[in-house]
Amino acid sequence: MQRTLKRWNQYPYMTIGLIVINFIVFGLMTISGGSENTQTLLKFGAIFKPFILQNGEWWRLVSGTFIHIGITHIVLNMVTLYFVGVQIENLFGHFKFLIIYFLAGIFGNLVSLVFGNPLALSAGASGAIFGLFGVWLMLGESFHQNPYIHAMARQLGLFVVLALVSSLMESGIDVYAHVGGMLGGFLIGYLVGVPRLGKIEISKRVIASVTLVVLFGVAVWALIGR
């Protein structure tokens, strides 16, 4: 019994669950008008600034992370989520993984609302996924003495740079959500901690918490205070 519970606890069921939910939503969108149909996207909760600010539909900051535009979009995101999510969930645990994923996604969407095209539809798990990349950068900074962490952080750091450059060169990609999600994940990683690897200096956690609160407050003020 204990062996079964231990094996279940090590299984990345949060990552798998998120992937399943994303594909279910995509399937429902497909049979409801198509994942590239504007009305379908709005109906299922894509991020649209006028609806959020004028109608108070702030829930779209969360629902938008489950909406994908086209089969290529969801396949690329879900493959990336699997490979990165499994590692983060194993290191941080199931609950902390979810906290990082959703908060980074929300933060990325907030940044997109502030700096992005005010009339553009935005959707996808990219902001949350870039938040997981941000966590790896945090791990590389805090646990660089760990050979595995150091190597993975360097590899993913290079990948992130290439991904951001690619985002800037291609149209239709919400680079603001990517950058915001990555920054959010980087800071949130310090807050939740990772006891399986070791302790994080209290000064770093305080600085990260203050920075995150200030940035979140500035983003909300920039949206509501305008």
| Positions marked active-site | 126, 178
Buried b or exposed e, range 125-149, using 16+ CB within 10 angstroms: bbbbbbbbbbbbbbbbebbeeeeeb
DSSP β-bridge partners for residue 121 = 48
8 A C-beta contact, residue 182 and residue 111: no
Q: For residue 103, give the nearest of 206, 208, 16 by alpha carbon.
A: 208
Label residue 46 left, alpha or beta by phi (over 0 means left) and psi (-120 to 50 means alpha). beta
